[in-house]
Amino acid sequence: MSSRTARIARNTLMLYFRQILTLLVGLYTVRVVLNALGAEDYGIFKVVESFVVIFVFLNTAMVSATQRFLNFALGQNDSEQARNVYSVSFLIHALIAILFIIITETIGLWFFYTWLNIPADRQNVAFIVYQFSVATTVLSILRVPYNATIIAYEKMSFYAWISIIEVTVKLLMVFLLTVIIYDKLIFYALFLFITGIIILLIYKIYCNRTFVIAHFRFCRDKNLYRQLAEFSGWNVLGQFSSVSSHNGLNILLNIFFGVTVNAAMGIAMQVKTITYSFIDHFQTAFRPQIIKSYASQDYRFFLNLVFQSSKASFFLLLFIVLPFYINADFILGIWLGNVPEFTVIFTRLFLLFALLETLAAPLWMSIMATGDIKKYQIIESSFNFLSIPVSFCFLLLGFGPFWVLIIKIVNFVLLHVWRIFFVGKKLNFSVKKYLFEVIIPISVIVVISGSVSLFSNIFFTNWAKLLLTCTISTLCTGILIYFIGLNAPEKASLHNFIKIKWNNKYA
């Protein structure tokens, strides 16, 4: 196993430790917050949060740009350029934070009072929550240069430690929420803001003390400003379409169905975020190596990593999604107690969407590595925007709220078909090889493993069904992945990894 592959594996394990901790606390806090706030107030918070996040697309675009240029500079062993990238991105994010405040306090407030479907007696409270959400988002914007630097240097162990601090603070605040007599929704928004301040300070102190490049200095390199602006400019389009697609659908549901459906959508989205975050952290571990290997012109390793990470991401998430999908109604009932209407079907559709997203990430990361993203972002954005008017038409015709996610999934499948051929042509890799090594194996595994898991427990319910499903789906999926999902070199790498771990443990 190469040192780069070993580093990815080591970083993945650190991020998995972080995520398990976050998952346990996340599951508990969602239940407590839902019970403390009630379905209506939880729905109000989610629709306000979704609305605020729409305006953060400028920052989201700069996240990708900062990470790409930092990784590229480090891949070429150019620490001076990396410091320039950090300084330029720090300045740009400060300007984005100011622009974000201006937009949310003008256009945002107009839309808030004009279009959002919020009960009249909770409008003043929703306004206060809106202001705290804006302030919390500003803190997340200012954190981006620090976060990008940590990822570029692949210091993933930091996330494990900061997660302990973050979840500890959140746990304390959740406990406070249960005893507060005053309006709990306002205090919940305030608690999230306080958490944001604490985490930003930790990031700043750690980066300033650990990385030489993480110190601001005014950069006069006009070409760097131009490159970052051009890259992030096209990325703005893609990120705005993605954010609009995710959060615009939530606003549509609010307009047509009210805040109770927003609560169901919010819970389902929380499940999707928690489950996908396992893979998101794995992808965070290999993202720097994709960009660095392209920057160093190691194209063989670059393409192998794109293929392998696509399969690995899908397989790792399948272990989680399959038993959760089958037992969604029972798990949500145990977890939440009182499950809002449509939560189960929203959750199942979001889990399917999460599986599809795992395949997309390595491909768009490879395009980001090239720096030439204009055509890609235009086409992808067109697909993303399409889901909103189509969903609006379906809702006008009287279709149920879950149809917005069905439309989103179908649209994403069509987009991914185009993405495969576009990336294949752009990076000169074999589409046929991708289909036979990635798409066909995972399709066969999903059909067989899904069928076996479903039919093996049709006579069981509740805990017996959950335990049987988890056992059978894990065994079946694992066996199928080994014999169908892995090629010969991948099996050899797996054998070597296990052998090394065994020898280290029992030597």
> Taking a C-beta distance cutoff of 8 angstroms, is the pair 169, 200 a contact?
no
Task: From residue 472, give the alpha-carbon distance in Å to each of 162, 211, 351.
Answer: 35, 47, 19
Q: Which residues of 417-435 are buried (b: 16+ CB within 10 A; e: fewer)?
A: eebbebbbeebebeeeebe
Task: From residue 120, give the alpha-carbon distance in Å to each of 2, 44, 125, 126, 255.
Answer: 61, 12, 10, 10, 15
Instruction: Report how far residue 234's alpha carbon sits from residue 230's, in angstroms, rounded to the nearest whole number.
Output: 7
Instruction: Report how far residue 361's alpha carbon sits from residue 196's, in angstroms, rounded to the nearest whole number.
Output: 27
Looking at residue 20, its pLDDT comes to 65
Token pair belonging to 432: 């046929």
Token pair belonging to 200: 């930003």
Residue pLDDT, tens place only, 12-54: 566 666 666 666 676 677 777 777 777 777 777 777 776 676 6
Instruction: Report how far residue 282's alpha carbon sits from residue 357's, in angstroms, rounded to the nearest whole number.
Output: 13
Instruction: Report how far residue 279's alpha carbon sits from residue 353's, in angstroms, rounded to the nearest whole number.
Output: 13
**Residue 346's closest CA among 236, 416, 266?**
266
pLDDT-flagged residues of the chain (< 50)? 1
Instruction: Report how far residue 261's alpha carbon sits from residue 263's, in angstroms, rounded to the nearest whole number.
Output: 5
> Taking a C-beta distance cutoff of 8 angstroms, is the pair 101, 325 a contact?
no
Looking at residue 171, its pLDDT comes to 75
Residue pLDDT, tens place only, 349-365: 999 999 999 998 889 88
> Taking a C-beta distance cutoff of 8 angstroms, is the pair 269, 30 a contact?
no
Q: How many CB atoms lie within 10 A of CB 501?
A: 11
Per DSSP, the residues of 444-465 read: HHHHHHHHHHHHTTTT--HHHH
Task: From residue 285, give the alpha-carbon distance in Å to each of 69, 279, 355, 435, 471.
Answer: 17, 10, 18, 24, 28
Looking at residue 1, its pLDDT comes to 47
Looking at residue 444, its pLDDT comes to 94
In the chain, the amino acid numbered 278 is: F
Contacts 24+ apart (CB under 8 A), 490-496: 490/308, 493/1, 493/5, 496/1
Predicted TM-score of the model (pTM)? 0.71
Q: For residue 104, give every residue at least 6 positions away whose Cβ sits within 8 Å of its Cβ, in sequence order, or none.
A: 52, 55, 134
Instruction: Report how far residue 15's alpha carbon sits from residue 278's, in angstroms, rounded to the nearest whole number.
Output: 8
Query: Where do we find the tokens 């009960």?
Result: 119
**Residue 287's closest CA among 28, 67, 465?**
67
Token pair belonging to 93: 């994010």
> Taking a C-beta distance cutoff of 8 angstroms, is the pair 396, 257 a contact?
no
